[in-house]
Amino acid sequence: MRYLLKSPAKYVQGPNILGELDQYLQGMGKRPLVLLSVSGTKRIGPTLEKCFSGADWQVRQEVFQGECSQRQIDRLLEAARTHRATAVIGIGGGKILDTAKAVGHYGQIPVAAAPTVASSDSPCSSLSVIYHDDGAFDRYLHLDSCPQAVLADTAVIAKAPARLLAAGMGDAMATWFEARACRASGSDNQLGGKPTRAASGLARLCWDFLRRDGLAAMRDAESGLCSQAVETIVEVNTYLSSVGFESGGLAAAHGIQKGFTQIPALRSQLHGFNVAFCTLAQLVMEDAQEDLNAVAAFSTSIGLPICFADLGYPDAEPDAVRGAAEKACVPTSTIHHMPFEVTSEMVYQALMDADAFGRQYHQQEEGE
């Protein structure tokens, strides 16, 4: 039996650190390919120009075109080769970072990831989630290593819509419950080894800190404040959850979320919002009533969904939900890391029961 844990070589967090980006790229050469969105180029471009103003830097910027797909990866890989890039730097949301990691993997060059939002746990992982051009899930791309450097500029992240921070908390919330299921079943983590105690501990810290600081962080983020609570939750969403999910293991919540990409109405929803509701479905399957109540209470306090209507899918079509449940149960799905056998019918019923539970919870809240 072997135990495996991966993490970035360097994690840096704090306000205005993007202005010091050049200082954290030691060993990555002087010819980086920088990947940004159109809006990111406008907002962060001037900071990068000042940062890389030295004559020895030769930086090429490329605009991300919307989806972490193989077509996008191939286009940017060719740009990296043409530029003779010594590193690739992804600055933006999860799909930009996953694309940068994939380009670095195929191009065999170092990667730096700089999230501008704390909306998912992708930045620190050695995993890229690849989608088809239409947004449907394609596959996981397992990478040789995590990014060499991850830089979370909390001054930038605090200015992002608070809804994105909530989505990151939804993603992070699943970390403990999935890692717990993997330990109970003796399943491997995402690295093909058993979870270390450190990984399980980091996963548990996600849930502990979310309950302690999540609501305060949400309130501060709504005012654009870079408070200590925001700093804590950025670390939870970005680092603890990244290392916790990959080295601790995934189970039903993310397995079901992949099934949701089959439903157009849910495909465009924020990843963390879908994962939050899928966590409820996992807890329904586990008959974990105490945790179900705790997750529902936390989720409603920060605006996370607890029923299909909250996800913008009020008239959930049974056939579509069954199709998502079937997709969630393909042989390679992490749903089979649960400590009991899972069938598509079980997943379908858990989703419908979670939806009914969430609707009833809302009614009880309104009646109080």
Is residue 63 classed as helix, strand or coil in its secondary structure? strand
Q: Which two tokens stand for residue 238?
A: 């970005």
What integer pLDDT is reported at residue 139 of this predicted model? 87
Specify the DSSP element, H or E, that contains 115. strand 111-115
How many other CB atoms are there within 10 angstroms of residue 312's CB atom?
12
Q: Please give the C-alpha separations between residue 92 and each of 31, 98, 108, 266, 286, in angstroms, as whole numbers.
A: 20, 10, 21, 22, 36
Predicted confidence band at 66 (pLDDT cuts at 50, 70, 90)? Answer: confident
CA distance 142 to 156: 29
Q: Is the pLDDT at 367 greater than 80, yes or no?
A: no
Residue found by looking up tokens 């009880």 in the block = 364
Compute the half-sphere exposure of residue 233: CA atoms within 13 Å on the CB side of its CA: 34
Burial of 341 (0-12, 13-18, 19+ CB in 10 A): exposed
Is residue 112 classed as helix, strand or coil in its secondary structure? strand
- pTM, 2 dp: 0.92
The per-residue pLDDT for range 20-39, each reduced to its tens digit, is 999 999 999 999 999 999 88
Q: End-to-end distance of the chain based on CA atoms, in angstroms?
A: 52
**pLDDT, the chain, mean:** 94
Any alpha helices (H) in 141-270, and if so which ranges? 154-157, 162-185, 197-222, 228-235, 241-248, 252-260, 264-267
Q: Which two tokens stand for residue 83?
A: 């530029």
Residue found by looking up tokens 């471009």 in the block = 45
The per-residue pLDDT for range 331-359, each reduced to its tens digit, is 999 999 999 999 999 999 999 999 999 99
Residue found by looking up tokens 């990959």 in the block = 246
- What residues pair up with 88 in beta bridges, in sequence order? 33, 111
User: CA angle 172-195-113, nearest 5°?
Assistant: 50
Q: Please give the C-alpha separations between residue 323 and each of 254, 272, 273, 305, in angstroms, as whole numbers.
A: 16, 21, 20, 21
The per-residue pLDDT for range 167-216, each reduced to its tens digit, is 999 999 999 999 999 999 999 999 999 999 999 999 999 999 999 999 99
Q: Taking Cα atoms as reference points, which of 277, 244, 248, 235 lies closest to residue 260?
A: 277
What integer pLDDT is reported at residue 178 of this predicted model? 98
Predicted confidence band at 366 (pLDDT cuts at 50, 70, 90)? Answer: confident
